[in-house]
Amino acid sequence: MVIQSQKLSASPYDLASTLTCGQAFRWTRWDHTSVGVIDDHWIQVSQQGPSLHVSTTHSSPNWKRIEDYFQVRLDLDNVTRSFPMDSHLREAKRAYRGLRLLKQSPWECLASFILSSNKQIPHIQQIITRLTQRFGTPLEVPPGHEPLASFPTAAHLASVSEADLRKLGMGYRAPFLSEAARRVSDGRLVLQSLFEMPYPEAFASLQTLPGVGPKIANCVLLFAFQKQEAFPIDVWIKRALSTLYFSDASPSPKQLEAFARSYFNPYAGYAQQYLFHYVRNQPRSPQPH
């Protein structure tokens, strides 16, 4: 087995936060090394100062795609400089300087977030792991490492029965995933075309899928299609915005959306991810239980 390596430089970069902040579900961390999958590449990555050391078992690695995935070319400070200067965002920015949005694959991202609804992140990871093991293509893995597989294609999942999907523990989301797989594989939904589409159009287009509402559509537009104005509002962000910016009043969905769009612009999506990671790592207060 041949392992090929490459060093990518990017500063600032916070690899640990980037891979654990809930945007991607397939990375596991051992010591200071993360192992995961990008398309059909088995990937091992670690950070040393301003560089990422990336290794893969792929016979002819697509390094351009890998660089793109990790978004090492982005001028991150230019992005975070545009954040509003309030104390919460300033603190999040300080604590997680180097946190980046990845550029994920459209189908994997869409399918993953269809599975994410009303589920905790560890559960989502569990389901996705089972889905890849059952229906993905096994990848070459160095000795001593867990077997990993590529994410199953839309075409393959379209050929799988809902009952077989349910066996993986995804519950009522099975028909949603199934329908998305059919529409993507038969061309009724051309994911690639969303790259060219303006945000509002792309936003509406994704929501024609059953099981895809505003939150999931925004996640997919932000994490796969790099629409920077997408601002996913989940339970955590809703709580955070209510406490931090509405002094615990309970704003309506419409109010939240309007506030987020104007206040965090132009990099609302990035601001959202900093806030999300920040509140989720708070020791106590906004956290339930």
Partner DNA sequence: CTCCAGGTCCAGA
Partner DNA sequence: TCTGGACATGGA
The set of catalytic residues is 215
C-alpha to C-alpha distance for 31 and 56, rounded to whole angstroms: 18
In the Cβ-directed half-sphere of 157, how many Cα atoms lie within 13 Å? Answer: 29
To DNA, the closest distance from the beta carbon of 23 in angstroms equals 4
C-alpha to C-alpha distance for 235 and 78, rounded to whole angstroms: 28
Binding site for DNA (CB under 7 A): 21-23, 116-124, 126, 166, 169-172, 207, 209-217, 219, 232-237, 250, 252-255, 272-273, 276, 288-289
To DNA, the closest distance from the beta carbon of 220 in angstroms equals 9
Query: 63 burial class (0-12, 13-18, 19+ CB within 10 angstroms)?
Result: middle
Choice between 60 and 252, CB closer to DNA: 252
To DNA, the closest distance from the beta carbon of 282 in angstroms equals 13
C-alpha to C-alpha distance for 265 and 253, rounded to whole angstroms: 18
Choice between 51 and 255, CB closer to DNA: 255
- φ and ψ of 123, to 5 deg: -70, -40
β-strand partners of 41: 38
To DNA, the closest distance from the beta carbon of 242 in angstroms equals 12
To DNA, the closest distance from the beta carbon of 266 in angstroms equals 18
Choice between 50 and 164, CB closer to DNA: 164
Choice between 5 and 287, CB closer to DNA: 287
C-alpha to C-alpha distance for 195 and 227, rounded to whole angstroms: 9
Choice between 21 and 139, CB closer to DNA: 21
Write the DSSP assignment of 55-81 as a string of letters: EE--SS--HHHHHHHHTTTS-HHHHHH
C-alpha to C-alpha distance for 278 and 240, rounded to whole angstroms: 10
